[in-house]
Amino acid sequence: MRRFFSAIAFLVTLVIVLGAAGCGDHFARSSGEAPASGDLAANALSALEAKGSAHFVADMSSSQPGSVGLQFSARFEGDASATAVDASGSVGVGGLSLNGRVMVDEHNVFIQFMNQWYGEHQGIRDELGKAKEGKNAQVWDELATPEGLRRNFDHLFSGEVSEGPVVDGVATWKFEGRMNADGLAEFARRFDSELTDPERAQLDKVAAASDLVLVVGQDDHLPRGVEFGMHLSAADLKAMQDSSSSTLQGAENFKATLALSEFGKPVEITAPQSFKPLDALFEQLFSGFE
């Protein structure tokens, strides 16, 4: 149950983070000169917000070395804006594969499975409201706005910007890097989350095992693709899962990708006339996996 909802949360979170923030000014560079990584990320966030929507293909998979535990995968394709998501896809857990449809608006989320709709009244605006409450509002301003991203990206990620692939006939820039453990620890400290020595050691390993790729149009600044993954050794994963002080006891290797295209199309959903509670779907399918 937790993993299935995580797949949906991943989908919605990426759409919200990339599309719901306010506009920011683009930092201009000389023609042919690669931008700074913080400018690349911030301009992509601003340009996508200005377009308002995009078609997307999102994939996520997780696993543990040696085929320990259940293998998980998810793929969704559809259209999304800051106020609505309409996607069809599949989720695989172990040898079980499930197909369905997900619709989210500002105050509701609906999932269709085997011609039955399930839902709850908790949508994009509700989640955004939680993200902007109290101390969360500071984190939002630092990570989910163009200027905040411009300030923080180079502290949270280490890497380089170079010529990217041609995507849909568009020349791109590509950032390739990984998480910066020093910057992440300092960011946590700023928000009263001092790491213990064991947690900091684990963060060092996770950061070294992570990888991030961001592909952005050179001229229009629109994000064409995002990849993020973590690839820890079997020994490191076991140590984190066995440690009573670990905040990563459920850690798994994973890879998540998001491809974006067809920017600016209107996205609207029509709520089903009737639906069962979303918990009923989770209990039916995943109660045995807790």
Q: Does the residue 35 lie in any domain? A: yes
Question: CA angle, 212 as apex, 206 and 215 as ends, to 5°?
Answer: 175
Q: Does the residue 290 lie in any domain? A: no
Q: How many domains does the chain have?
A: 1
- Helix, strand, coil: what percent of the chain each, to 5? 40, 30, 30
Q: Does the residue 209 lie in any domain? A: yes
pLDDT range class, residue 241, cuts 50, 70, 90? confident
| pLDDT tens digits, 90-134 | 988 877 888 999 999 999 999 999 989 999 988 887 777 776 676
Radius of gyration of the chain (CA): 19
Element (H, E) at 16: helix 2-19
Residue 163 has pLDDT above 80, yes or no: yes
Q: Does the residue 79 lie in any domain? A: yes
Evaluate whether 211 touches 257 at the Cβ level (below 8 Å).
no
Q: Does the residue 136 lie in any domain? A: yes
Question: Residue 63 is part of a domain; what is its CATH number?
Answer: 2.50.20.20
Q: Does the residue 223 lie in any domain? A: yes
Contact partners, residue 256, CB within 8 Å, separation at least 6: 10, 58, 59, 60, 227, 228, 229
pLDDT range class, residue 23, cuts 50, 70, 90? very low
3-state SS class at 259? strand
Evaluate whether 246 touches 195 at the Cβ level (below 8 Å).
no
pLDDT range class, residue 51, cuts 50, 70, 90? very high
Contact partners, residue 134, CB within 8 Å, separation at least 6: none
3-state SS class at 168? coil
| pLDDT tens digits, 252-274 | 789 999 999 999 999 999 999 99
**Lowest pLDDT segment from 19-33, 93-107, 183-197, 247-261:** 19-33
Q: Does the residue 15 lie in any domain? A: yes
Range of the domain at 22: 2-285
Q: Does the residue 229 lie in any domain? A: yes
pLDDT range class, residue 3, cuts 50, 70, 90? very low
Evaluate whether 284 touches 7 at the Cβ level (below 8 Å).
no
